[in-house]
Amino acid sequence: MALALHGSQNENLQKQDGLGMNDRMRKVFFALWPEEDLRSQLVKLQEPIQKGRKVPVESLHLTLHFVGQVESIDCLLEEAEKIHFLPGSIKLEDYGVFEKARVLWAGPIQWSKEIVELSSACRETAKTCGYPAHTERFRPHVTLARKVSRLPELPAFKPVQWEFHTFSLVESNSTDHGVSYRVLRTFSGK
C-alpha cells in the first residue's frame, strides 16, 4: 500500500509529471525517510560537526539502495508495491567517514535483519526492472556532512533509535546549491 508522505504529495506528483510518463532521465534511490521528530534528533548529531558542509535538515535520510539514472519509474513503483517487509529499527550510535566519498555519517555498530532484508528487496526490485545492482556492500548510515576526508574528534552521542514502518522511492536532483531530494512515493510494510 502506498502512503503519501506529506498530505497529497503522491497525487500532486502524478498531476505534475505522470510519475513515469516523462521524457527525461531521473536519478532515483530507495531510502528510509525520517519523520519530523526523528529528523530533529538527526540534526542534533550534526551540531558538533565543525568541518565540511552539513547536509540540509530536509535532506537527511538513510539510503537502502541506489538505483541510478532511469527513464521511467513505472516499473520501480509497481514492483516496490509488492515488497513485503517487517517493520524494524536501526540504532544510530557511532560516527564514521567514507574517505573516498568524503562524507561523515552516523550509523549503527550492528544492524538488524529487517534493514538488511529491506535493502535486499529494494536491490532485487531494481534488478527486476532492469537496473544492475551496484557492487558496494550495504552499510546503513545517515550522511551528516560532505567534504570531510577524516573523522574529526567528536563527542560521543546518545544513540538515536529509528523505528521504520515505511520506505520511499526518492529522486535526486543536482542544483547550483547542492543536491535536493523529492520523495516520489512512500510504501508501507505488508
Q: How confident is the prediction for the chain on average, in pLDDT?
A: 87
State the alpha helices, DSSP H only, in 47-167. 74-81, 113-128
Q: Measured between alpha carbons, how far apart are the two ends of the chain, in Å?
A: 8
DSSP-assigned beta bridge partners for residue 172: 27, 181
pLDDT at residue 97, rounded to an integer:
96
- Which pLDDT band holds residue 179 (cuts at 50, 70, 90)? confident
pLDDT at residue 190, rounded to an integer:
64
Top pLDDT among 21 and 89 is at 89
DSSP-assigned beta bridge partners for residue 11: none
Mean pLDDT of the 66-71 span = 94
Top pLDDT among 149 and 178 is at 149
49, 145 Cβ separation under 8 angstroms: yes
- Which pLDDT band holds residue 135 (cuts at 50, 70, 90)? low
* pLDDT, tens digit (0-9, with 9 covering 90-100), for 5-39: 333 333 334 334 444 444 578 999 999 999 999 99
Domains, the chain, with CATH or none: 2-188 (3.90.1140.10)
Q: 82: how many CB neighbours lie within 10 A of its CB?
A: 11
Distances (CA, A) of 135 to 3, 65, 129, 138, 186: 30, 11, 17, 9, 25
Dihedral angle at the C-alpha atoms of 145, 147, 153, 154, nearest 10 degrees? 0
- What letter does residue 120 receive in the DSSP assignment? H
